[in-house]
Structure 1
Amino acid sequence: MVGNISRRKLLRTVPVAGLAGIAGCTGGSGDGDTATETSAETDGNTDTAQSDSGNGGGGSAGSVKIGVIQPLSGPLTYYGQQSLWGMFSGFAYKAGTDPIATAESGTQTVTVGDVDYELVIRDTELSADKAQSVATDLVQNESVDLLFGATSSAAADRVVKNVAKPSGTPMMVGPAASASITASSETCTDSVFRVNENTAMDARSGGKYVASETDVNAVYLLGADYSFGHAVVSNYRSVLEAEGIEIVGEKFVPQGYSEFEGLLDNAAEAGAEGVVGGFTAQTLPALITTFINGGYDMRLFGGFATEITNTVIGQTLQKALGKPLTKEKIAQQQFGPFTTRYHWNQYDNDINSAYVDMHTSTYGKVPDLLSAGQFTAASALVQAVEESGSTEGADIAAALRGMTVADTPKGNDGYTFQTYNNQARSEMTIADPVPTTDEWTDQWGAAIMPSAPVARIAADEVTIPSDSPDMSCRL
């Protein structure tokens, strides 16, 4: 219908009311509501990181304009920062240069070979409404080739349904972790991708380990009452029941909830031998503090959290157990083991070593939980441009489908996009919480850190299978 007119040029000429109608012309889905018109945010300073190495290129030249949406203010600013740091590091690795140092709204450009990657960064303030409005502005007024973000699963869900799908704009979701984003027919589309690990990967790896390697036979499930928490509980329930573990109860509570004593008492009275907590940093510290101080005869397990949560956990352990912390003191609390999507000390390869070095040199911190997925997403976009020889969003999306990403912190070819839902699968590890070693105290501010892996769960075992009743995505 649009002939040889590029999607970017087309969007410049179409008013907001016509946004949903573009999908049929550009290959996107027409599902979802029409995006809401907003005014553009003010750009910050523009910095350019140029590569002298000449890496990449693959015959392609030109520019790719990427709309990046992350929370850079509000209660989870650190999540947005580490997401940008990971993305910046992925582009820098491909370019052979240093990462962009500032994580703030504005426009940044990284050059890889003969291609400029223009990153138009917007703050979502951890709000789904704000995420939708800035994403709409990026598509309507900035004419981006693709979208990249967000941290909140609720925000990512809203942007996919109301902006990316109606406009046909390819989107790289992340680090939002709700499994439904790439499992539900409502958000799944052939132009929506995710590299970052998700809640199903947490559950399928952690649940299998708990069932086979611990003495836990009955579990109580707790989760935040929104998409992320529901996804955690749903996926753990499916995996644990399939492994023969009894679910003796479940409860959802608001984000920021802190009165966990009664809930943990209920879990104990129901006969639970283990508790899963499906929470982010807004709620998880309160659960763990209550668990440790309450002396419950249950095991607490789930996913290994970020530095900000581990800082609170470490402080709580020190108060309860005294200083110095030891492996033995922590183990006696039945605390863990935990699944890790990624932490800096879980993978020993040249790419991860280079990544840890550039990240600590630039940001003063080791890469954290969300980092490897964001690094790999940037790496995948560069690889897609090189392999397709094109800077058009539709061509980049076509190259991403089924791609095995070459350069990743989990090693060469560490992530592969599944053809049935565009979710990348990758190996997961299981680790115990241990005292932070002297080597990392300057770059990791928590008193505890992940141990060396106690188990590795293969990539083909951790994602929702195409024939699962939990997978309604059909590309």
Structure 2
Amino acid sequence: MDLEKLSRRRVLGALGASGTIALAGCTGDDDGGDGDDGSSDGTDSSDGSDGEDGSDGGDGSDGGNGSDGGDSTSEDLSGTLRIGVLQDFSGQLAIYGAQGSAGFYSGLAHKADDDPLPADAVDAGDYSYPVGDIDVEIRARDTQFAPTQAQQLAEELVTQDDVDMLYGVGNSGGAISVINSVVDQAEVPFIAGPAASAEITAGEGTCRDLVFRANENTAMDARSGGVYIADQTDVEQIALFGADDAFGQSVVDNYRTVLENRGVTIAEERAVPEDLDQPEWTGLLDEAQNAGAEAIVGGFTAAGLSGFFSSFLAGDYDFQMFGGFASRLTLGVVGNALQGALDDFSNEALQEANFGPFTTRYHWNQYDNAINDQFVDSHSNTYGVVPDLFTSGAFTAASAVVQAMNEQGEVSADAVVEGMSGMTVTDTPKGENGYTFQEYNNQARSEMTVAPVTVTPDSQENWPAAIMPGEPLNRVSQDDVTIPAEDVNCDLS
């Protein structure tokens, strides 16, 4: 396919699909694969741009590491907390594991008023980090993006390493396995993330007193994106495609609920294997257009993007695309394709083609506050990249753990559980008190942002993708993006 021959309308429409909500999440595949080229561990800067950071949210260059950690650690509170960190350091989406671990380390660093663990700690290993007089011992393990590996490592961490709690898992299938096979048996608290399936904290099969999640989930994506589609566009019929796994199903289910409640008809709905080849994809897209769909949302991670993206570009479809900003891995793929397809690769061209706006869970330039400024500066200096999609939730998870122990006056797993239940987290990248754990299901709610798609300026350091979110256009409140208590299949309150 010659991208140079594609019309601007079709290219921009297709790229909207590749930036949809699904691409911001995780899958439930049982094998890890060999990893996407270039995803690495996410700790090195690859854009090599010179000059000052030109992002609107600020890179926190004047924030330094001298920020107040909020509820600072009590001087007389001491002890050891051992945390088993389960992240994908070598699988097909190792960049997610980098965000999950580096963000968590940054949250601890903020509470300690110090630099985070170095870049080489974004890998399997044993690390120690003091937060005041609290010794946090990290036992980081590589899940290789495989649910069976996540479960096995979680079992070993509990039985052999005697960890007090577990944090992590990048795919929803792995997180669910850990909950059902380890949390229930060992009665050890677990903070899930970046795994994004809403079912983890909304379904009776996994909702537990011991299970928490600070990271935003697919329901929050869908509710903010769905409200935009229903209220701000003329779309009356839409196609929903999702990966045939826990993540994809969650994307589709939550989009369907929001859109149908607001009068949008679902013209076509499909659960699609991640490894579907291009001819099969073409048939599915043809069916969606024949069914009258005016728009399409695709619930896929970067692993399932290729066939969907290529087939749409090769076809002649009139779909309008909506969705959410993905991480730098996917936005890098999308931006490179745009650069190759458009003679005029500019913000004006993107705006004229109505490419966006999209929703974002978090990106470094969407929040202008002292905590985020310090976070962006420290994270960039330590890991060579600005904080990305999952790093705010990871930061908040660590911040909440320390806050819970401070408030409970005890260094223990019990203190973490007691303290985090219903907690409003003081120190978060979305600002002071930016996340609140819901008492009915231990899912943290936080606001979402709507922003245009813009070309990454040469002055933007440490963001290795040709496109990025622009100046925020709108905020969707935390109350409007969360699944209400009456709609979840559990009640912990």
Q: TM-score, normalised by structure 2?
A: 0.83
**Alpha-carbon spacing, 1:334–1:224, altered in 2? closer, same or farther (3 Å):** farther
Shift of 1:353: 0.6
5+ residue gaps in structure 1?
Answer: 1-50
Q: Which of 272, 278, 283 is the matching residue for 1:262?
A: 283
Q: Is 1:313 paired with 2:330?
A: no
Query: Hey, what's the Cα distance between the residues in 1 that align with 2:465 and 2:307?
Result: 16
Single out whichever of 123-132 and 255-264 deviates more from structure 2.
Answer: 255-264
Distance 1:439 1:151, change over 3 A: same
**2:244 is the alignment partner of 1:225:** yes
1:222 counterpart SS class: strand
Which position in structure 2 is the counterpart of 1:373?
Answer: 393
Cα displacement (A) at 1:113: 1.1
Distance 1:294 1:62 in 2: 61
- 1:128 aligned partner: 147
Residue number in structure 1 paired with 2:317: 296
Partner of 1:400: 420
Deviation at 1:215, TM superposition (A): 1.7
Residue 96 of structure 1 deviates from its aligned partner by 1.1
Q: How far has the Cα of 1:303 moved from its partner?
A: 2.1
Cα deviation for residue 293 of structure 1 reads 5.1
| CA displacement at 1:257 relative to structure 2 | 3.3
Counterpart among 226, 240, 245 of residue 207 in structure 1: 226
Give the counterpart of 2:485 among 466, 470, 473.
466
Mark the CA change 1:423 to 1:110 in structure 2 (over 3 Å): closer, same or farther.
same
Alignment of 1:35-184 (within 5 A): 55-57=72-74, 59-101=76-118, 102=120, 103-184=122-203
1:356 equivalent to 2:376? Answer yes
| Residue in structure 2 matched with residue 410 of structure 1 by the alignment | 430
| Residue pair 2:448, 2:478 contacting (<8 A) in 1 also | yes
Cα deviation, residue 432, structure 1:
2.2
Query: Contact 1:56–1:94 (CA<8 Å) still a contact in 2?
Result: yes
Work out the CA distance in 2 between the residues paired with 1:53 and 1:213: 40
Which has the higher mean CA deviation after the structures are superposed, 383-392 or 251-260? 251-260
Structure 1 counterpart of 2:210: 191
Which secondary structure does the structure 2 equivalent of 1:283 belong to? helix
Alpha-carbon distance in structure 2 between the residues aligned to 1:411 and 1:319? 38
- Decide whether aligned partners of structure 1 residues 52 and 418 sit closer, same or farther in structure 2, where only a CA change above 3 A counts: closer
Measure how far apart 1:332 and its partner are.
Answer: 4.8
Q: Is the 1:57–1:115 Cα contact (8 Å) retained in structure 2?
A: no
Give, in whole Å, the separation in 2 of the partners of 1:52 and 1:428: 25
Q: How far apart are 1:431 and its partner, in Å? A: 1.8
Question: In structure 2, how many angstroms separate the alpha carbons of the residues matched to 1:263 and 1:338?
Answer: 24
Contact map agreement 1:278 1:302 (CA 8 A) in 2 = no
Which segment drifts farther, 83-92 or 225-234?
Answer: 83-92
Q: Structure 1 262/452 Cα, relative in aligned 2: closer, same or farther at 3 Å?
A: farther
Distance 1:218 1:52, change over 3 A: closer
* Distance (Å, rounded) in 2 between the aligned partners of 1:373 and 1:289: 32
- Structure 2 equivalent of residue 240 of structure 1: 259
Kept after mapping to 2: 8 A contact 1:201/1:462: yes
Given that residues 376 and 405 in structure 1 are in contact (C-alpha distance below 8 angstroms), is that contact kept between their aligned partners in structure 2? Answer: yes
Moved over 6 A (4+): 51-54
> Who is 1:448 aligned against?
467
Residue aligning to 2:11: none
* In structure 2, distance between residues paired with 1:464 and 1:310: 28
Equivalent-residue separation in structure 2 for 1:332 and 1:225 (angstroms): 35
Contact 1:429/1:457, CA 8 A, preserved across alignment: yes
The within-5 A match list for 1:306-345 is 306-322=327-343, 324-345=344-365
Q: Distance in 1 between matches of 2:150 and 2:396?
A: 23
Relative contact order, CA 8 A, sep 6+: which one is greater? Answer: 2
Deviation at 1:355, TM superposition (A): 0.5
Q: Give 3-state SS (helix, strand or coil) of 2:449's partner.
A: strand
- The AA in structure 2 aligned to 1:271 is G
1:41 is aligned to none
| C-alpha contact 2:67 2:371 (8 A) present in aligned 1 | no
CA offsets, 1:130-159, max 9 Å, x none? 000000000011111100011100000000
Output the CA distance in 2 between the equivalents of 1:284 and 1:314.
14
User: Which string of whole-angstrom CA distances, capped at 9 and with x for unpartnered residues, describes residues 216-271 of structure 1?
Assistant: 11110001000000000000000000011010011111124352333222222211
SS in 2 for 1:439: coil
Please identify, of 303-312 and 420-429, the stretch whose mean Cα deviation from structure 2 is larger. Answer: 303-312
Structure 2 unaligned regions, length at least 5: 1-65
Instruction: Report Cα offsets for 1:164-220 as digits up to 9, x if no partner.
Output: 122110011111000000001110111100000000000011100111111211110
What is the CA-CA distance between 1:295 and the residue it aligns to? 5.1
In structure 2, C-alpha distance between the alignment counterparts of 1:274 and 1:231, rounded to whole Å: 19
Paired with 1:337 and 1:52, the residues of 2 have a C-alpha distance of 33
| Identical aligned residues as a percent | 49
CA distance in 1, matches of 2:352, 2:290: 21
Deviation at 1:82, TM superposition (A): 1.4
Asked if 1 retains the 8 angstrom alpha-carbon contact of 2:67 and 2:110, the reply is: no
